[in-house]
Copies of this chain bind each other. A is one copy, B any other.
Amino acid sequence: MKHLLTTSELEIKEINKILDDAQCFLNGGTWTPEQKVFVANLFFENSTRTKCSFEVAERRLGLDIIPFEVSTSSVSKGESLYDTVKTLEAIGVHAVVIRHSQDRYFDELTGRSGVSILNAGDGCGHHPTQSLLDLLTIKQEFGSFEGLKVAIIGDIAHSRVARSNADALVRLGAKVVFSGPKEWFNEELLENGMYEDVDTAVETADAVMLLRIQHERHESKANQTAEEYHQAYGLTEERERIMKPNSIIMHPAPVNRGVEIADCLVECERSRIFKQMQNGVYIRMAVLKRSIEHIEGGANHVNINQKWPVAY
């Protein structure tokens, strides 16, 4: 099996291969495994975008999807994640996509099961497919990452997106700055970028990446209303006006409209928010292909359905 756990563990050439494959799918390329391949999507946390996006990607690849609802599974009888994954393996599932509230939940799985694990978000840890789709969106816009400045603004302390993205962007040659409430900035982030005040960040960045206030992940700041946050750290209409001419707005969504970003900017010309979602499907096709190819076999393996690569 071949896992996708964190962006940090992907080498630059692997990242580039995934981005290329995704772009190839976006341009109409197709790929289907030779044999029946079963996958299951285990979402222990709520999701629309990531889950539905994986579901579309899986169907586009012709995979067979075994439905799994946490609330009606044996997890509610106390079965562990390890035993759940081993069970799915036993009944013939080749790959599982998992979102779980526990940081690095996958450490208890890798090396102990033959199933490919695709991480769709672990606690406040990582969210590699979100990072990869962000990278693809930036690459489509600017051609390369060299010399770009990306501002990551908002709930950086609790964001698996901030963590995953910053590391990859820096390795790819971009400069990253963080902004938002200063108490959410911490030492660990320094490794990849400095803190910058929000106005400077917005004014100088090529990509302004806003993060969702994750009400479900931290104590609400009772003394700060949504409107106050918006004025202090959000992308207001005023701030949008000081952005560089070709700079773009990004957000992993779901968006709290009027908080991280003014309602009317969500679908404005600079916004790539819905394009990010589109790209998500192709990124997920690429990482599923990457894991399944590995399942399918060795060097002598001939895939009669292989329609890959296509000319484009």
Q: Pick out which of these stretches binds chain B: A70-78, A172-180, A235-243.
A: A70-78
Judged by a CB distance under 8 angstroms, whether A281 is at the interface is yes
Q: Pick out which of these stretches binds chain B: A101-109, A158-166, A250-258.
A: A250-258
Q: A73-B47, A74-B46 are in contact. Are A56 and B281 (CB under 8 A)?
A: no
Least CB distance, A147 to chain B, in whole angstroms:
29
A66 touches B75 (CB 8 A): no
A277 touches B91 (CB 8 A): yes
CB contacts (< 8 Å) of A190 on chain B: these are: none
A 71-87 to B, binary, CB cutoff 8 A, 1 in contact else 0: 11111111110011011
B277 touches A52 (CB 8 A): no
Judged by a CB distance under 8 angstroms, whether A8 is at the interface is no
A77 touches B216 (CB 8 A): yes
A254 touches B48 (CB 8 A): no
Contact of A91 among B53, B69, B76 (CB under 8 A): B53
Q: A46-B73, A84-B48 are in contact. Are A277 and B90 (CB under 8 A)?
A: yes
* Distance in angstroms between the alpha carbons of A294 and B77 in the assembled complex: 36
A38 touches B66 (CB 8 A): no
* Distance in angstroms between the alpha carbons of A92 and B278 in the assembled complex: 7
B56 touches A254 (CB 8 A): no
A52 touches B87 (CB 8 A): yes
Contact of A281 among B70, B91, B215, B255 (CB under 8 A): B91
Judged by a CB distance under 8 angstroms, whether A64 is at the interface is yes
20 pairs, CB–CB < 8 Å, chain A vs chain B:
A38-B56, A38-B59, A43-B72, A46-B73, A47-B72, A49-B74, A51-B73, A52-B87, A53-B91, A56-B64, A56-B91, A69-B69, A71-B71, A74-B254, A77-B215, A79-B254, A83-B257, A86-B274, A87-B274, A90-B275
Other A-B contacts than A43-B72, A90-B278, 9 sampled, CB-CB below 8 A, are: A36-B59, A46-B72, A52-B88, A52-B93, A74-B254, A78-B254, A87-B253, A91-B281, A92-B281
